[in-house]
Amino acid sequence: MGFQEVPNRVDFPAQEREILRFWKESRAFDTLRTLHRGEPHWSFIDGPITANNPMGVHHGWGRTYKDAMQRFRTMQGHELRYQNGFDCQGLWVEVEVEKEKGFKTKKDIESFGLEEFVRLCKARVLKYAAVQTEQSIRLGYWMDWNEPDTLRWLGEKLLENPRQIITLEGVEGPVTGTVEELIGRLGMPELGGSYFTFSTENNYMIWTFLKRCWEKGWVYRGVDVMPWCPRCATGISQHEIVTDGYAELTHNSVTVRFPLLDENGQPRLDAQTGLPEALLVWTTTPWTLTSNVAAAVGPDLTYVKVRNGDRVYYLAKGTLSMLRGDYQVLGELKGTELEGWKYAGPFDDLPAAQIAGGFSKIKEVSAGVSQSAAQAHRVILWEEVGETEGTGIVHIAPGCGAEDFQLGRKYGLPMIAPLDEEGVFVDGFLWLSGMHVSEVADPIFANLKEKDLLYRVAPYTHRYPTCWRCHSELVFRLVDEWFISMGEVYDKPRSELTPEEKARSLRYQIMDVVDQIRWIPEFGYAREMDWLRNMHDWMISKKRYWGLALPIWVCKECDHYEVIGDEKELQARAVEGWEIFEGHTPHRPFIDAVKIQCPHCGGKMERVLDVGNPWLDAGIVPFSTLRYRSDPDYWRKWYPAQWITESFPGQFRNWFYSLLAMATVIDQSPPFLQNFGFATLVAEDGRPMHKSWGNAIEFNEAADRMGVDVMRWLYVTQRPENDLLFGYNRGDEARRQFLIPLWNAYSFFVTYARLDGWLPQGTFDRDFPEGATPQSENILDRWILVRLNQLTARVTASLDDSDFYTASTSIGVFIDDLTNWYIRRSRRRFWKSQSDDDKQAAYATLYHVLVKLTRLLAPLTPFVTEAMYQNLVRNVREGAYESVHHTRWPVTDETAIDGVFLEQMNLARMVASLGLAARSGANLKVRQPLARAMAFAGNNRSLPPDLVEIITDELNVKDFEFVEEASRLVNFRVLPDNKTLGPRFGALFPKVRAALAALDPSSVAALVQAGQGVKLNVDGQEIELAPAEIIVQTMPVEGLAVASDKGFTVAIDAVITPELRAEGLAREFVRRVQDLRKTAGLEISDRIRLRFVATGLLADAVEKFRDYIMNETLTVDLATGEPDAEMVVVEDQFDGEKVKIGLKRYTP
């Protein structure tokens, strides 16, 4: 037993890998759980990470918060669940599998086979769950992880044969089942480990949720025009489009003539000029012209009739610059005057435009509409039409645009839906049929030109929605999808809603739940509320393959639909196909085989083929993972989560929203009590990380190069509401400023403790291994102990408040105090050869500080603290815990906190710092001793002798004194105390200030220092200021070696006497010897022989300070003369003297 030697240069990443090995071999995490079993629970719910690719450094940010908070709560004495989550289902996985297999369309998937495709998706998730598990472990994230190799093995077995029977080691013993079944049970109580949102329980729990929605009448099938990705062949919901969903794109916009028609359907001619009249219409999506039905004008806009070339056009007055060539304004009219005008559509030659009731496969949209598009063409009014772009006349294609659709509904217009799922024009569009939407623009321009309808084509750059997964440009498409109603938005304050109104509207119920949650930072609350107010109904369906099987069964005969609440209900209702499905997870294609009977007409009901929105998968986890269905007691114990944390952008409408919506429907309660949010990680150049920009950093690379303690330090020292700039330069800075100084303090301690054979004494409590606060007479010791306990209180309060920034930056400041003041000033106490009480106190103090500091830091940087703990505690204490992370959270020793020490030490440090500045200003190097320093510090005129000693030593002066007669050092400046006098005099204050300034500063200062008031004459009024209302400041007198700051002034006596000079030379000599010792590679404790040759003054000085020199340099034999052959030699000159010194190790 004893401290092991500490290398002063460490390969931190290598050390971290060693510690990972240690944790694994010692099963440190299992021990932690055992130690805290049965303690008050603290519930955290992990927001699932998408297991689709390796994780990035941005994931490291959130995961560091999660780990640090969990470690902190555990050390405080709580039992936690430590369950990580993987998000598994949805389009993002499909897209990657499609890429792997080289699939281009949905048809490729169907011909490949749904069953195998779904298996590939599952296997991919398992593969990347394994990778992310390994990366998270590397980050030091302590969770109930699955063995990564087991996850990989399961993936392989699944691809091999999902029906084979296997056995896994479970929590309470082996668990046997088919591969498919066991994969579906990952994360369940019997298997443990991370939860997977593809689990059978997760899916059925969502069924239960959807059934409750349905029972309340909130699940409905709706028709809408939605953003649609032609590559993925699926609708993109509002939730998905808003973040990653826009790109700056340049398209060819087109301005088109819509010739006006008279009542007889003949071309309308202008009465004045006899020229044919036309509307001028502009669009950025030419393909939608094929489906034009109407043209909209702003009712309040002013329109003009202009002659341009051999035609007469109508357009908004504010858009005249759209016209090419000369034009002549013939008249003005209001938008409302245009209403009802008829025109010839640009593609009335297509069959689709000629069909009565419109052209769409969705029957519903043509109900009650008898006209064809060609018959329906007319000008309608729309308030949203503006003049900022285009012509002020908007082309309306109700089957191709969301707002167009709403207008179409309002005016009962026919609708034309031109595109199939993959963006190809369907039959009914003649030459266009079979063409892809992305390739029709130019042919359409050519066709319009041929028909003499084309006015102008011009490139136009705009924000255009793209698919957040594959980046294809989206189109708008008429679809039928499934929705959860959010309820109406009432036009009155929330407080005035009746219970009935609230009961009808889910959004207000969610708001009530949001009120019960603390949002950090606070603006999170407003963000979530804003989203809830504006939120549309939640589109939960997606026409894809891999995901939640929506439990909606529709009758083939009567169109009645029902939502099935769980597997038991399904089995009970099944009339066909159960035997095909049985034994499978509730995924396509097997679930599709199950048919039930329609309670209305007795017909056969089939499941809708759609899969679910993936945020359903993530939002249900407070129920599915906490055993809501199987173990209500367990659920009540762990629900709600005390705390969740995720990156803000996006989550208000995604995970936070789905958590809130689902918990509100199921339990009318908050699923989490605190939400700690943080911003976005970007590269060091402030731009988002992009592989192609060369500024992206991969997680593994960062961990290998900078080490994860450094990464974690970058994360926790960041203010969470600001974007984090992440990169190697920042990492180097953190290593230099935090990790290396910490390590050096530790290494310093161990080096000397080993030399002196020092070991901690007294009783040992393994929960609090630093022991009680040591008692010491030494002022440095007492000061650092005050600081330590102040820090303990601060870090505890900050972490309690999710304030990692304050916690970590406070620790940073403390480490600076420790290394740059406590250790620097205490160094000689450790060096000195006699082992007295003071040395013992120094060891006891520094040891205590290091151990407690290590433990305060353990949640933030678990690796370096573990390395320090192993040596500082485990190597020297019988019965110590195996890991620092098994110890209890440090307790603040309130009795050790004494503010007087802090003030006095601050004063001493201020004086020392100013003294050094004064020396520096006079070009007097510190190695040259000087006679005297003088300080003026107002009323602070005394310091204890030990602090004075520190100051004299620091400043290298023989004597230090506070001067009361500041006039020796400074001039005075008197100022009114604004804080008291401002309110007292109000508007008169400037005159009071001026009157005070007019007095002689030194006499005012004298009065104030004597405790007397000052009389002023202001506007003929006699005013008296109390001494407390006047602030006396000092300015250094010119010509002294003086420095001054905030009322403190320090002066140095710059006279160098011959004695001082000799002492200075002796110190220079020592310095050269110390350098030589290092060059020769000696140990700190090695004794030496010295030979030297020196010029006059220096030789005298060496003689005079012989004892001092020998003592400082551990010299046992010092003599003049040429160095021996085997000596290390240095020659140097300084201060006009020359010297040659030889050194060798002394061997008795």
What radius of gyration, in Å, describes the C-alpha atoms of the chain? 40
Q: How far is the CB of 812 from RNA (least distance, A)?
A: 9
The residue (of 424 and 742) whose beta carbon lies closer to RNA is 742
DSSP class of 56: B
Q: How far apart are CA 199 and CA 193, in angstroms?
A: 12
The residue (of 29 and 648) whose beta carbon lies closer to RNA is 648
Find residue 1031's DSSP bridge partners. 975
Cα Dmax for the chain: 126
Q: How far is the CB of 946 from RNA (least distance, A)?
A: 21
Could you tell me if 379 and 345 are in contact, meaning their C-beta atoms sit under 8 angstroms apart? no
Q: How far is the CB of 730 from RNA (least distance, A)?
A: 8
Neighbouring C-beta atoms of residue 1050, cutoff 10 Å: 30
The residue (of 420 and 977) whose beta carbon lies closer to RNA is 977
The residue (of 202 and 658) whose beta carbon lies closer to RNA is 658
- The identity of residue 221, as a single letter, is R
234-235 and 311-316 beta bridge pairing: unpaired
Q: How far is the CB of 108 from RNA (least distance, A)?
A: 32
Q: How far is the CB of 615 from RNA (least distance, A)?
A: 12
The dihedral built from the CA positions of residue 348, 354, 356 and 359, taken in this order, carries a sign that is negative
The residue (of 212 and 1071) whose beta carbon lies closer to RNA is 1071
The residue (of 134 and 723) whose beta carbon lies closer to RNA is 723
Q: How far is the CB of 1142 from RNA (least distance, A)?
A: 15
Q: Is the peptide bond before 267 cis (omega within 30 degrees of 0)?
A: no
The residue (of 570 and 1073) whose beta carbon lies closer to RNA is 1073
Q: How far is the CB of 1071 from RNA (least distance, A)?
A: 5
Q: How far is the CB of 909 from RNA (least distance, A)?
A: 9
Terminal C-alpha separation, the chain: 30
The residue (of 132 and 651) whose beta carbon lies closer to RNA is 651
Any alpha helices (H) in 515-647, and if so which ranges?
A: 523-534, 567-573, 578-581, 614-619, 621-624, 632-638
The residue (of 80 and 908) whose beta carbon lies closer to RNA is 908
Q: How far apart are CA 194 and CA 178, in angstroms?
A: 19
Could you tell me if 1102 and 1072 are in contact, meaning their C-beta atoms sit under 8 angstroms apart? no
The residue (of 132 and 956) whose beta carbon lies closer to RNA is 956
The residue (of 494 and 925) whose beta carbon lies closer to RNA is 925
Could you tell me if 539 and 612 are in contact, meaning their C-beta atoms sit under 8 angstroms apart? no
The residue (of 304 and 714) whose beta carbon lies closer to RNA is 714
The residue (of 41 and 251) whose beta carbon lies closer to RNA is 251
State the angle between helix axes of 740-756 and 804-817 in degrees (0 to 180), rounded to the nearest 10.
Answer: 50
Neighbouring C-beta atoms of residue 1031, cutoff 10 Å: 15
Q: How far is the CB of 1137 from RNA (least distance, A)?
A: 15
DSSP 3-state assignment of 249? strand
Q: How far apart are CA 1025 and CA 862, in angstroms?
A: 58
Could you tell me if 373 and 345 are in contact, meaning their C-beta atoms sit under 8 angstroms apart? yes
Q: How far is the CB of 387 from RNA (least distance, A)?
A: 11
Q: How far is the CB of 630 from RNA (least distance, A)?
A: 35
The residue (of 89 and 810) whose beta carbon lies closer to RNA is 810
Q: How far apart are CA 158 and CA 1107, in angstroms?
A: 81
Q: How far is the CB of 374 from RNA (least distance, A)?
A: 30
Q: How far is the CB of 680 from RNA (least distance, A)?
A: 7
CA distances from 602 to 501, 692, 906 (A): 36, 59, 87
Residue 885 phi, psi (nearest 5): -75, -5
Could you tell me if 683 and 726 are in contact, meaning their C-beta atoms sit under 8 angstroms apart? yes
The residue (of 164 and 978) whose beta carbon lies closer to RNA is 978
Q: How far is the CB of 827 from RNA (least distance, A)?
A: 6
The tokens for 423 are 């963006």
| Nearest CA-CA partner of 255 in 305, 313, 326, 331 | 313
DSSP 3-state assignment of 777? coil
Q: How far apart are CA 852 and CA 875, in angstroms?
A: 16
Q: How far is the CB of 473 from RNA (least distance, A)?
A: 17
Find residue 887's DSSP bridge partners. none
State the angle between helix axes of 945-955 and 824-831 in degrees (0 to 180), rounded to the nearest 10.
Answer: 100
User: What SS3 string covers 316-335?
Assistant: EHHHHHHCCCCEEEEEEEEH
The residue (of 499 and 986) whose beta carbon lies closer to RNA is 986
Q: How far is the CB of 42 from RNA (least distance, A)?
A: 28
Could you tell me if 316 and 392 are in contact, meaning their C-beta atoms sit under 8 angstroms apart? yes
Q: How far is the CB of 888 from RNA (least distance, A)?
A: 29
DSSP 3-state assignment of 793? helix
The residue (of 366 and 920) whose beta carbon lies closer to RNA is 920
Q: Which residues of 571-595 are buried (b: 16+ CB within 10 A; e: fewer)?
A: eebbeebbeebeebbbbbbbbbbbb
The tokens for 301 are 């806009």
The tokens for 1015 are 């009389």
DSSP per-residue letters across 1053-1098: -----HHHHHHHHHHHHHHHHHHHHHHTT--TT--EEEEEEE-HHH
Q: How far is the CB of 468 from RNA (least distance, A)?
A: 10
The residue (of 72 and 738) whose beta carbon lies closer to RNA is 738
CA distances from 898 to 76, 653, 785, 846, 904 (A): 25, 49, 9, 18, 11
Q: How far apart are CA 816 and CA 802, in angstroms?
A: 24
